[in-house]
Structure 1
Amino acid sequence: MAHDLANLLGDVGPIVFYLVVWGLVFAGTALFVGVFIPFITGDSLLFGAGILTGTHDDLSIWILAPGVGIAAVLGDQVGFWLGRRFGRPYLTKRNGRWVQGGIRRAERFYELFGWWSVVISRYIPWGRVFIPPIAGISGMKYWRFLTANIVGALSWGVLITVIGYFAAVNPAVRPIAYAVASVVIAISIVAGIRAWVLDRRTRRAVEADGEADAAVELDAKAATAES
């Protein structure tokens, strides 16, 4: 990713470079691009852009990082309003078994964590795409969503970009930067696994309740037939 970004920078210059990075971050959630190419719109993009900024004097982390955070906030805002405007059919029409599976996981994740789901989802590839429209569909109050959106998107966008920057510019800080990046990635993985496990438990419980209800109904029908 860093190599590709370096080639891009050499071809287009700093201003277009900033715009491309910000545009990819925005499109990752606003246009559902992150569903299909999360590595181009997510953590690796930000980390690579941060590293590149640290190795090129014509780039500024003070421009790149805040812009990434703002692009992430705006992308989530679009997702939220699309969900509120078009409702559940907006997600239902998304084709693909994997996509629908991600939507179901995100719905369960939102039910479990509410406000925090919007914050945490920024660090989970499928979560950052699906949680904003689900929050809109679920009728989450806008100001609650906005505060969670700002906390999650700014912390994710600025943090990972700055970590990449320090990993490049300061050899003494580099091990710490990589350690922090590893922790962020680990948290993302753990949160995703936790949501998946809780979702499976819930589905099993629902299936068990359904089987129990079916058994009771059959017993009732058998008793009626005997009488």
Structure 2
Amino acid sequence: MHVQDWLDSVPAVAVYALVGLVIGLESLGIPLPGEIILISAALMSSQHSGINPIVLGACATAGAVIGDSIGYAIGRKGGRPLLAWLGGKFPRHFSAGHVATAERSFEKWGMWAVFFGRFVALLRIFAGPLAGVLHMPYWKFLIANVLGGICWAGGTTAVIYYVGTVAEDWLKRFSYLGLAVAVLIGLASMLLVKRKAKKAQQQAEPEAEPVGAGD
């Protein structure tokens, strides 16, 4: 089966549901590749006539807002012992250093940490639960949560959909040579971003103060 035929056979509702569910669970505080799923689905929408990018963006936004709100409620009820428990279950994401770094961002930026946290992988997982633990007023959290979800989910969907549409027209002209070049550029950019993020994380962790379960 041709790739395009396979894409056209994927039910749109399944894509909407998967995107909303994964992003919702990530926003709730479970380390999942929400951004990768959204980008993949948005790219698919540019090649799949049955997937509406507007509906896709709306489902992603709903998942982000609902997931963050549930995470906020869990964090408010569970408090710091919850963070300590998560650190034991997911040490790579909820280590004491990561928690302290995220907490400093919240204390410094407040609502803006929730808004811009939607665009940062680490804070995207922390935003809801940590805002609840720190007892941020829910109305402030909700405003930042909704606006951040709309900008991140809607903006990502729109940009990737446009890029996918333009790339399809471009690849029709240059065929597989253009595809190879695009893949190489994408991989190089991804490796560069990951390298910089890892370096920034290593610089931030030594300065972090551990957060214990009894705090």
Determine the C-alpha separation between the residues in 1 that align with 2:54 and 2:115. 23
Number of the residue aligned with 2:34: 41
Deviation at 1:128, TM superposition (A): 0.8
Structure with bigger gyration radius: 1
Q: Does 1:20 align with 2:18?
A: yes
Number of the residue aligned with 2:51: 59
Number of the residue aligned with 1:117: 113
Deviation at 1:170, TM superposition (A): 3.1
Which sections of structure 1, spanning at least 5 residues, go unmatched? 204-227
Which sections of structure 2, spanning at least 5 residues, go unmatched? 171-184, 210-215
Query: Under a length normalisation based on structure 2, what TM-score does the superposition of the two structures give?
Result: 0.72
Number of the residue aligned with 1:89: 81
* Residue type at the aligned position of 1:151: L
Which one scores higher on RCO, CA 8 angstroms, separation ≥ 6?
Answer: 2
Contact 2:8/2:49 (8 A) holds in 1: no
What do residues 138-194 of structure 1 show as CA deviations (whole Å, max 9, x unaligned)?
1111111111111211111111111111011235999xxx9xxx8xx97xx77x94x
Change (3 A) 1:54 1:12: closer
Number of the residue aligned with 1:213: none
Give percent identity, aligned residues only. 25
* Residue type at the aligned position of 1:148: A
User: 4+ runs of 1 displaced by more than 4 Å?
Assistant: 9-12, 171-174, 195-203
Q: How many residue pairs get matched? A: 181
Change (3 A) 1:160 1:81: same
Query: Under a length normalisation based on structure 1, what TM-score does the superposition of the two structures give?
Result: 0.69
* Residue type at the aligned position of 1:135: A
Deviation at 1:131, TM superposition (A): 2.2
SS in 2 for 1:33: coil
